[in-house]
Amino acid sequence: MTLEAWYMDSSDEDQRKPHRLIPNQPVFLDELKRLGVFYWKLNADIYETDPELERIRKDHGYSYMDIITIHKDTLPNYEEKLKMFFDEHLHLDDEIRYILDGQAYFDVRDKEDRWIRIAMNKGDLITLPAGIYHRFTLDETNYTKAMRLFVGEPVWKAYNRPADDFDVRQKYVASLQGS
């Protein structure tokens, strides 16, 4: 199974719903790659000893990792954190997430500023480039367990939109001009 992504509707319904356009407008991996979003499908059942994950970490310099479980019984200030994750923002570094269990969504902006929803399931590893506007939410199962990967020490700072004056945002936008 491959990653599934689609353009979102503009409904104000619960953020955890799929929000597909009618008819559905799928987005394929090559389009996500043009936005700087990369994807791997791994075996999450062996994440602790997976040679493919080790190779990816080595090749990309992902030296730090931790695991977060997002569920109302395990995450302090659960509702507040979900709202914070869903605020449109960018980071100064790439965001790398590997779903070890459960499901979730990442929403990213395309070149025309339209939302693309990326459905993340167990075994999906994704990288979002520094400077891309995005947000995160659970789906209606209200649970995911994810590995967070970083180059060096983790930086947890998110910059809510508008953040167009950051060099990393300007470099990201410039990188889209040729794609």
Residues annotated in a binding site = 89, 91, 95, 134
Using an 8 Å Cβ cutoff, are 146 and 104 in contact?
yes
Q: Is 178 exposed, middle or buried (0-12, 13-18, 19+ CB in 10 A)?
A: exposed
Give the C-alpha separation, 142 to 25, whole Å. Answer: 25
Helix (H) or strand (E) holding 112: none
| 111 contacts 37 by C-beta, under 8 angstroms | no
Residues in the chain: 179
Look at the alpha carbons of 112, 174, 27, 3 in this order and tell me if their dihedral is positive or negative. negative
Please state, as a whole number, how many other Cβ atoms lie within 10 Å of the Cβ of residue 135: 21
Name which of 84, 83, 92 is nearest 163 in CA terms: 92
Binding residues for Ni(2+): 89, 91, 95, 134
Binding residues for Fe(2+): 89, 91, 95, 134
